[in-house]
């Protein structure tokens, strides 16, 4: 939190050994913490100095490429602006009030929640099951691992084109196969139906991403000592009990990270949907990112689209912070470097 003062102090002081502000601050700390446990002021200034030297280039880049555009988007979101020239028609919070009355945006939120729910409740457990299965001694398991992971390497665009052909109503592979199996009734509209588009999309998302999560879990499973499993077996624990009481708790850090990645991906979902449906039919598969592009680059309402992007950013940010604070806390404990060795 004292980054800003330290930056200005040290950058102006150059190689000067003492910086009064930091020193003063340190005195107080010193008194509070008691003697003997603190490092010398000189040493601490040197710590600050090296921290600044190493972080400033990164901070400048980060500022130019991330913070400035973000700030500009926030600024633009208060204007009625077509995207060219400089914004001049200030409308205050209008874009935001309009946003929360926009049925398309509210629908986006609902669909986003649905996809997150699907991912956590179906996709991740499926990935876990496959990981546990492929962690057994199994003939050709390397091949299976590779096969299941392969979709993740495909680009989203290729995946999209591929599946729009597979799920082409009546003509596509999916319908043909179902017909041959005598299950023609199960086929149908796929991406073309307002009610079938989200489930179909979810099938594609799962196909593409379960392999990635499976790999994460496999890595996690490798880290569980075989001795624990063995000890439990000797104590008479069944397969299910061992999974439930040993594998799962020890895999928890990996599970928490993979759930996090899955949620963030769902919030920002764009490419796949854009290629397959562009958000249709009639907004039934539209996500926040799709709406943002529709308003920004189809209707040229850049102010409104920026407001949408700001809200999308806030949702991601709040989620990420809350997740870090409440869920990932014990996993990251000690992994975050602080100047004083403790927070």
Partner 1 sequence: MRPFGTTSNFSRRGFLAASAATGLGAAGLSACGSSDDSGSGKKTIEWWNITTTQPAKKLWAQRAKEFEAAHPDVKIKVVTLENEAYKSKMTAQIASGKLPDIFHTWGGGVLKQQLDAGLVEDLTDRVSSWTGNYVPASMAAYKFDDKLYAVPFDIGAVGFWYNKALFKKAGITAPPTTWSGYLDAIRALKKAGVTPIALAGKEKWPGMYYWAYLSMRVAGLDAMQKASDDADFTGDDFVKAGQHLKDLVALQPFQKGFLGGAYSDPNGEAALMGNGKAAMELMGQWAPIVEADSGKGIGKDLGFFSFPAVEGGKGALTEVFGGGGGHALRKGAPQEALDFLKFFAEKEFAEKLIKQTGLIPVSKDTADALTDPNLTAVSEMLNKSTGFQLYLDQAYAPAVGQEINDSVAALIAGSKSPEQVTRSVTQVAKSEKS
Contacting residue, 164, 229, 268, 324, with partner 1 by CB under 8 A:
164
Position 135 contacts partner 1 (CB under 8 A) = no
Q: What share of the chain is helix, strand, coil (3-state, %, to 5)?
A: 70, 0, 25
Position 190 contacts partner 1 (CB under 8 A) = yes
Contacting residue, 297, 322, 329, 340, with partner 1 by CB under 8 A:
297
**Number of chain residues interacting with partner 1 (CB under 8 A):** 31
Position 107 contacts partner 1 (CB under 8 A) = no
Contacting residue, 102, 179, 189, 271, with partner 1 by CB under 8 A:
189
Contacting residue, 23, 184, 193, 253, with partner 1 by CB under 8 A:
193
Q: Which is nearer to partner 1, 218 or 302 (CB)?
A: 302
Asked if 46 and 271 touch (Cβ cutoff 8 Å), the reply is no
Position 165 contacts partner 1 (CB under 8 A) = yes
- Within 8 A by CB and 6+ apart from 76, the residues are 87, 302, 303, 306
Buried b / exposed e along 286-321 (16+ C-beta atoms within 10 A)? bbbbbbbbbbbeeeebbbbbbbbbbbbeeeeeeeee
Position 183 contacts partner 1 (CB under 8 A) = no
Q: Which one of the spans 122-130, 146-154, 193-201, 256-264 is the region binding partner 1 (CB under 8 A)?
A: 193-201
Contacting residue, 83, 107, 184, 253, with partner 1 by CB under 8 A:
83
251/219 Cα distance (integer angstroms): 10
Contacting residue, 17, 20, 71, 82, with partner 1 by CB under 8 A:
82
Backbone angles phi, psi at 240, to 5 degrees: -65, -45
Buried b / exposed e along 202-241 (16+ C-beta atoms within 10 A)? bebbbbbbbbbbbbbbbebbeeeeeeebeebeeeebeeee
Position 281 contacts partner 1 (CB under 8 A) = yes
Position 282 contacts partner 1 (CB under 8 A) = yes
Position 171 contacts partner 1 (CB under 8 A) = yes
* Helix residue spans in 81-140 (DSSP H): 94-99, 103-118, 124-134
Position 84 contacts partner 1 (CB under 8 A) = yes
Positions that interact with partner 1 (CB under 8 A): 82-85, 164-165, 168-172, 188-194, 197, 277-278, 280-283, 294, 297-301
């Amino acid at each position: 939190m004292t980054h800003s003062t330290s930056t200005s102090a040290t950058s102006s002081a150059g190689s000067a050994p003492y910086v009064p502000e930091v020193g003063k601050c340190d005195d107080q700390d010193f008194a509070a913490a008691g003697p003997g446990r603190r490092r010398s002021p000189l040493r601490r200034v040197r710590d600050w100095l090296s921290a600044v030297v190493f972080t400033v280039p990164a901070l400048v880049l980060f500022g130019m490429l991330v913070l400035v555009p973000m700030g500009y988007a926030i600024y633009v979101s208060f204007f009625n602006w077509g995207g060219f020239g400089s914004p001049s028609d200030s409308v205050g919070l209008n874009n935001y009030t309009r946003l929360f009355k926009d049925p398309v945006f509210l629908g986006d939120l609902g669909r986003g929640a649905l996809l997150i729910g699907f991912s956590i409740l179906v996709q991740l457990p499926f990935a876990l099951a496959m990981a546990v299965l492929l962690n057994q001694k199994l003939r050709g398991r390397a091949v299976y691992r590779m096969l299941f992971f392969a979709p993740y390497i495909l680009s989203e665009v290729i995946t999209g084109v591929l599946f729009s052909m597979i799920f082409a109503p009546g003509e596509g592979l999916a319908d043909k196969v179902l017909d041959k199996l005598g299950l023609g009734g199960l086929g149908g509209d796929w991406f073309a139906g307002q009610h079938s588009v989200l489930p179909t999309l979810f099938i594609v998302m799962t196909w593409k991403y379960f392999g990635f999560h499976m790999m994460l879990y496999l890595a996690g499973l490798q880290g569980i000592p075989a001795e624990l499993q063995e000890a439990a077996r000797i104590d008479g624990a069944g397969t299910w009990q061992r999974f439930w009481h040993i594998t799962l708790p020890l895999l928890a850090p990996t599970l928490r990270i993979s759930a996090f990645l899955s949620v963030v991906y769902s919030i920002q979902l764009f490419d796949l949907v854009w290629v397959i449906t562009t958000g249709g039919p009639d907004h039934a598969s539209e996500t926040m990112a799709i709406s943002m592009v529709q308003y920004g680059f189809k209707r040229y309402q850049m102010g409104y689209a920026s407001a949408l992007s700001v809200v999308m950013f806030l949702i991601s940010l709040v989620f990420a912070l809350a997740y870090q604070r409440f869920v990932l806390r014990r996993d990251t404990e000690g992994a975050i470097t602080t100047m004083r060795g403790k927070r």
